[in-house]
């Protein structure tokens, strides 16, 4: 699979599922296997918990995560103590979580592991930066999450693979449309570098960006109530920075402005968009533009045509239809391994 070579060049990857049971873990397992065959040294961790035998939400069986000899991994101390294979501890984090401190170790033999790594963006970025400095590692892998409740964004890595499937939507047409929408948000252009430097340290308060590129003091707080939107739009001019959630109400209001075609919205990354596809596309069709401070390199989309409740879509047809809708390679991992 060509995208595995790209992962090595990027140096870090998030494997992100659009929902439960969309094949994220299978995709991660495949990437680990291929990188091991290429004799690349891998470090892996997870946002949240992964590697459990049963999904705690859907109560369905989950594929095991196997670590090969020589791989580095970071997990919570409580899970590290449960492992059934030999490993050497290389580093113990300073901060304590409810599951214990973060332990980074090197596998001395192949074995199954439950991963529970850093749960916030700052810690995850620190992990990605520090691991290659501390150890001879070719690629850092993150078992990611696109859940809107997740405090960590998948765009902390240099690249990403997206998993989608019948569990996300049992109807092929709807599944293709939903996947295309997420793809389009991921592919939003990056803001100019000079503006990124000015905005990246601002994590709260809606701001206006002047024609000269200056950033104003906060116009409003993070969460905009419907009655606040009009007041904000009157003050923001044509360029607006929203470090938090971009709500349906806000994006709809921006699209309804007389000067929507001159409006530029700056966001931190694509996971902040909570708007409906119809509202999102209406704003763009009217000439509005959305820029993100942090943009990931989407390498591929992997599909799982089967859902836990028995829905089974035609794999070949699903791959073809999604491939026609997006401009990155689309694969069914299970089909490729047969």
Instruction: Find the distance separating the first CA and the last CA of the chain, reported in whole Å.
Output: 14
Residue 222 has pLDDT above 70, yes or no: no
Instruction: For the chain, give the percent of residues with pLDDT over 90.
Output: 66
Closest CA to 269 of 200, 317, 167: 200
Edge to edge, the sheet with strand 239-242 lists 207-208, 239-242, 264-267, 289-292
**Taking a C-beta distance cutoff of 8 angstroms, is the pair 257, 285 a contact?**
no
Angular region, 237: left φ>0, alpha ψ -120 to 50, beta rest: left
CA torsion 311-312-313-316 (nearest 10°) is 160
Residue 155 has pLDDT above 70, yes or no: yes
Residue 230 has pLDDT above 90, yes or no: no
For residues 98 and 145, give the distance between their C-alpha atoms in angstroms, rounded to a whole number. 20
Residue 273 has pLDDT above 70, yes or no: yes
Q: How confident is the model at residue 90 (pLDDT cuts 50, 70, 90)?
A: very high
For residues 50 and 25, give the distance between their C-alpha atoms in angstroms, rounded to a whole number. 8
**Taking a C-beta distance cutoff of 8 angstroms, is the pair 292, 147 a contact?**
no
**Taking a C-beta distance cutoff of 8 angstroms, is the pair 304, 21 a contact?**
yes
Give the model's pLDDT for residue 152.
57
Sequence-ordered alpha helix ranges (H) in 237-326 = 248-255, 277-285, 315-325
Residue 35 has pLDDT above 60, yes or no: yes
Q: How many residues does the chain have?
A: 338
**Taking a C-beta distance cutoff of 8 angstroms, is the pair 254, 262 a contact?**
no
Domain boundaries, the chain: 2-185+296-337, 190-292
Q: What is the DSSP string of 129-161?
A: HHHHHHS--SEEEEE----TT-SS-GGGSSEEE
For residues 36 and 7, give the distance between their C-alpha atoms in angstroms, rounded to a whole number. 13
pTM equals 0.89
**What's the CATH architecture for 190-292?**
3-Layer(aba) Sandwich (3.40)
For residues 328 and 299, give the distance between their C-alpha atoms in angstroms, rounded to a whole number. 6
For residues 245 and 150, give the distance between their C-alpha atoms in angstroms, rounded to a whole number. 13
Give the model's pLDDT for residue 33.
92
Q: Which two tokens stand for residue 160?
A: 């990403």
| Residue labelled with tokens 């990056």 | 190
Q: What is the DSSP string of 161-177?
A: EEEEETTT-SSHHHHHH
Residue 41 has pLDDT above 90, yes or no: yes
Reply yes or no on domain 2-185+296-337 having CATH 3.40.50: yes
Backbone φ and ψ for 74, nearest 5 degrees, come out as -125, 125
For residues 307 and 312, give the distance between their C-alpha atoms in angstroms, rounded to a whole number. 7
Residue 305 has pLDDT above 80, yes or no: yes
Per-chain mean pLDDT for the chain: 89
Q: ∠92-94-100 over CA atoms, to 5°?
A: 70
Task: Flag the least confident range among 147-156, 202-211, 288-297.
Answer: 147-156
Instruction: Count the neighbouring beta carbons within 10 Å of the beta carbon of residue 320.
Output: 13
Residue 83 has pLDDT above 80, yes or no: yes
Give the model's pLDDT for residue 61.
53
Instruction: For the chain, give the percent of residues with pLDDT over 70.
Output: 91
Q: Which long-range contacts (CB under 8 A, 24 or more apart) does 214-219 make?
A: 215/241
Give the model's pLDDT for residue 123.
86
267, β-bridge pairs: 242, 292
For residues 50 and 316, give the distance between their C-alpha atoms in angstroms, rounded to a whole number. 29
Tens digit of pLDDT for each residue in 190-200? 999 999 999 99
Tens digit of pLDDT for each residue in 282-304? 999 999 999 999 988 999 999 99
Residue 129 has pLDDT above 70, yes or no: yes
Give the model's pLDDT for residue 233.
81
For residues 79 and 87, give the distance between their C-alpha atoms in angstroms, rounded to a whole number. 13
């Amino acid at each position: 699979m060509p995208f595995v070579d790209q992962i090595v060049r990027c140096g870090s990857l998030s494997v992100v599922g659009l929902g439960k049971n969309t094949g994220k873990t299978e995709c991660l397992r495949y990437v680990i296997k291929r990188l091991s065959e290429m004799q690349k040294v891998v470090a892996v961790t997870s946002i949240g918990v992964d590697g459990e035998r049963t999904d705690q939400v859907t109560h369905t069986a989950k594929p095991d995560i196997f670590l090969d000899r020589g791989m580095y991994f970071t997990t919570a101390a409580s899970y590290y103590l449960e492992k059934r294979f030999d490993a050497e501890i290389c580093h113990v984090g300073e901060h304590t979580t409810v599951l214990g401190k973060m332990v980074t170790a090197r596998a001395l033999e192949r074995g199954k592991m439950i991963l529970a790594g850093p749960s916030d963006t700052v810690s995850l970025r620190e992990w990605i930066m520090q691991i290659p400095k501390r150890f001879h590692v070719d690629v850092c892998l993150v078992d990611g999450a696109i859940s809107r409740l997740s405090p960590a964004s998948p765009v902390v890595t240099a690249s990403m693979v997206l998993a989608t499937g019948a569990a996300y939507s049992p109807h092929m047409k709807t599944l293709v449309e939903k996947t295309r929408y997420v793809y389009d948000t991921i592919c939003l252009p990056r803001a100019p570098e000079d503006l990124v430097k000015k905005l990246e340290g601002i994590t709260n308060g809606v701001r206006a960006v002047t024609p000269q590129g200056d950033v104003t003091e906060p116009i409003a707080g993070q969460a905009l109530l419907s009655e606040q939107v009009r007041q904000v739009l009157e003050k923001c001019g044509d360029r607006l920075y929203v470090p938090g959630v971009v709500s349906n109400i806000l994006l709809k209001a921006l699209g309804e402005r007389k000067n929507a075609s001159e409006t530029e919205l700056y966001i931190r990354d694509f996971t902040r968009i909570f708007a409906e596809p119809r509202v999102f596309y209406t704003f763009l069709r009217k000439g509005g533009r959305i820029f993100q401070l942090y943009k990931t390199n989407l390498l591929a989309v992997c599909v799982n045509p089967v859902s836990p409740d028995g829905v089974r879509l035609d794999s070949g047809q699903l791959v073809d239809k999604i491939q026609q809708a997006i401009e990155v390679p689309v694969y069914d991992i299970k089909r490729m391994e047969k």
